[in-house]
């Protein structure tokens, strides 16, 4: 499952759909019609000839998965601190900034006191503040920019003639 990967990509400001219960045909359809790169750990779906852009995710650890995506989709240059916390990590909706007084009673008192900037998801109504998350993001950014590459990882796209890599279960 790539749920945590999706959450983290959204926290970093990337538009990521994560249709949990979609069938393979739906995923391929979404990828084609919305020109999205399909991220998958499923070797079955990448054999579908119609699929154009995908990245096969090797690792089962979300930190390494994130590194795979950032490295092999060339997203390093698009890691922009201005974009962090601009998309709801739960539902992928762009967040809107709200005034501090509007979150009174919606967040724990100490959170209200310690923070001045808040945003809200207009879709799922969840309230966000940078708080301690920003340190987690800084940590993951330094991990992503470290030179340790994931061994044996090669990106594949239908644009190349390479066969998908085998998977060890």
Identified binder of Zn ion from the candidate list 37, 75, 79, 90, rule CB under 5 A: 90
DSSP string, 86-152: -B-TTT-PBPEEE-GGGGTTTS-HHHHHH-S-EEE-TTT--EE--TTHHHHHHHHHHHHTSS-PPTT
Q: How far is the CB of 3 from Zn ion (least distance, A)?
A: 15
Q: Cα torsion at 23, 26, 27, 30 (round to 10°)?
A: -160
DSSP string, 61-89: SHHHHHHHHHHHTT-GGG--TTTTT-B-T
Residues within window 60-89 making contact with Zn ion, judged by CB under 5 A:
88
Q: How far is the CB of 124 from Zn ion (least distance, A)?
A: 3
Identified binder of Zn ion from the candidate list 121, 128, 137, 140, rule CB under 5 A: 121
Q: Does 25 bind Zn ion (CB under 5 A)?
A: no
Q: How far is the CB of 89 from Zn ion (least distance, A)?
A: 8
Q: Does 123 bind Zn ion (CB under 5 A)?
A: yes
Phi, psi angles (nearest 5°) of residue 49: -60, -30
**Cβ nearer to Zn ion, comparing 10 with 67:** 10
**Cβ nearer to Zn ion, comparing 90 with 150:** 90
Residues in contact with Zn ion by CB under 5 A are 88, 90-91, 93, 121, 123-124
């Amino acid at each position: 499952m790539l749920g945590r990967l999706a959450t983290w990509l959204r926290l970093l400001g990337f538009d990521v759909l994560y249709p949990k219960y979609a069938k393979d045909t739906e995923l391929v359809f979404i990828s084609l019609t919305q020109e999205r790169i399909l991220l998958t750990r499923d070797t079955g779906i990448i054999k579908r000839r119609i699929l154009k852009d995908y990245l096969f995710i090797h690792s089962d650890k979300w930190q390494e998965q994130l590194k795979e995506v950032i490295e092999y989709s060339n997203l390093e240059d698009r890691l922009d601190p201005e974009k962090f916390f601009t998309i709801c990590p739960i539902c992928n909706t762009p967040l809107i900034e709200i005034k501090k007084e509007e979150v009174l009673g919606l967040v724990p008192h100490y959170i209200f006191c310690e923070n001045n900037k808040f945003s809200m998801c207009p879709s799922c109504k969840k309230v966000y503040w940078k708080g301690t998350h920003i340190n987690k993001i800084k940590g993951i950014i330094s991990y992503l920019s470290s030179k340790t590459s994931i061994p044996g990882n090669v990106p594949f796209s239908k644009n190349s003639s390479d066969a998908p890599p085998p998977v060890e279960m």
